[in-house]
């Protein structure tokens, strides 16, 4: 009797497995990186380029590059002259290097903050249109299972619809 129950369970489990495998074979699976689709769109690229050429961003970038160059110059000077300096001169030079490093780090953090803010603005502006474009591509392609690209370990290029979504987004933003 017990063997009969086990045999029935095994038969039922194998039938369920066969049915689920058959339905999985009928499903069309795709992956998408919605952020990449948004940021590769013409609209986002234009906004990024506009921001990079703005006076504020150019000034921040110049400050960062200037501070980095100052730091490198001070480091090179210290390398060549440190043996001839008194202790006070060495301490003074070290302070100058610390100030230059702090200036470079501050400018770098400001640049990163500006870039993150711009990215958030672009995501907010294009997010709804990107979702519409995604839904249209999913419907047209007959996709039944859609996964985030970063959640998938391996996927062939034919299953990635990011480019199609970006193209559709470009059409929606013109």
Q: Residue ranges of the domains in the chain?
A: 26-173
Q: Which residues of 45-65 are buried (b: 16+ CB within 10 A; e: fewer)?
A: eebeeebeeeeebeebbebbe
* pLDDT one-digit tens code per residue, 39-70: 999 999 999 999 999 999 999 999 999 999 99
Residue 3 confidence (pLDDT) above 90: no
Please indicate, yes or no, whether the overall pTM of this predicted structure exceeds 0.85: no
Residue 20 confidence (pLDDT) above 50: no
Cα separation, 126 vs 23, whole angstroms:
35
Q: Does 19 or 123 have the greater pLDDT score? A: 123
* pLDDT one-digit tens code per residue, 101-152: 999 999 999 999 999 999 999 999 999 999 999 999 999 999 999 999 999 8
Residue 21 confidence (pLDDT) above 50: no
* Average pLDDT taken over every residue of the chain: 86
- Put residue 30 in one of left, alpha, beta given phi > 0 → left and psi -120 to 50 → alpha: beta
């Amino acid at each position: 009797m017990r063997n009969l129950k086990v045999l029935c369970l095994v038969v039922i489990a194998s039938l369920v497995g066969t049915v689920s495998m058959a339905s999985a074979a009928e499903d069309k699976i795709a992956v998408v990186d919605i952020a990449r689709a948004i940021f590769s769109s013409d609209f986002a690229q234009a906004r990024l380029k506009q921001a990079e050429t703005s006076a504020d961003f150019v000034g921040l970038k110049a400050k960062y590059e200037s501070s980095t160059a100052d730091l490198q110059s001070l480091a090179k000077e210290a390398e060549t002259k440190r043996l001839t300096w008194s202790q006070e001169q060495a301490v003074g030079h070290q302070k100058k290097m610390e100030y230059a490093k702090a200036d470079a780090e501050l400018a770098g953090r400001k640049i990163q903050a500006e870039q993150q803010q711009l990215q958030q603005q672009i995501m907010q502006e294009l997010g709804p249109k990107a979702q519409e474009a995604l839904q249209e591509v999913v419907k047209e392609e007959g996709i039944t299972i859609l996964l985030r690209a970063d959640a998938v370990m391996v996927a062939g290029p034919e299953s990635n619809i990011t480019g199609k979504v970006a193209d559709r987004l470009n059409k929606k933003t013109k």
